[in-house]
Amino acid sequence: MSTLVAITYPSKQTAESALATLGQLQKQELISIKDAIIATNDGEKIQLDQAVNLTGAGALGGAFWGGLVGLIFLMPLAGMAIGAASGALSGKLSDYGIDDDFAKDLSSKVDPGQAALLLMADTDSPDRVVSEMKKHEFGGEIIYTNLSSEDEQRLRDAAASA
């Protein structure tokens, strides 16, 4: 089961830097990011920036399968075009990972001007991930997790220790 963690940061730029660092940790195979959202509160509305572009991924997958089916019927270009269009549409309409309504509700508790990073991920070495994130001193505060009480307290203690 993936872990869901929400962390507030003083600005959107800080949240983006934290997400970029997590991306580097994913390349090192220390964490596997399933979904990530950066939510900003400008005082009037909540803006959600999805880290995973499902429209592009759907179009790429649709083009592949459409091209393959098109080869069977000797129309690979038409198959790729139809597949890409249908894949992009299904990607745009799908809601994968973190629920947008949940993200907006949680982000409404963030002070205006601040940002929240909502992260759904798996890791076998949480201590190393927390240690690497602390090196960058992003200054975030954990506001939500789906961990057990004991695991959440361990995460908070690890994040707080310098």
For the chain, the three-class secondary structure string (H helix, E strand, C coil) is CCEEEEEEECCHHHHHHHHHHHHHHHHCCCCEEEEEEEEEECCCCEEEEECCCHHHHHHHHHHHHHHHHHHHCCCHHHHHHHHHHHHHHHHHHCCCCCCHHHHHHHHCCCCCCCEEEEEEEECCCHHHHHHHHHHCCCCCEEEEECCCHHHHHHHHHHHHCC
**pLDDT, tens only, 145-161:** 777 788 778 777 777 76
- 10-27 tens-digit pLDDT: 888 988 898 999 889 889
**What pTM does this model have?**
0.67
Residue 97: pLDDT band (50, 70, 90) is low
Statement: residue 65 has pLDDT above 70: no
Most confident of 44-48, 73-77, 117-121, 124-128: 117-121
Residue 110's pLDDT is 83
Examine the pLDDT at 6 and tell me if it is beyond 80: yes
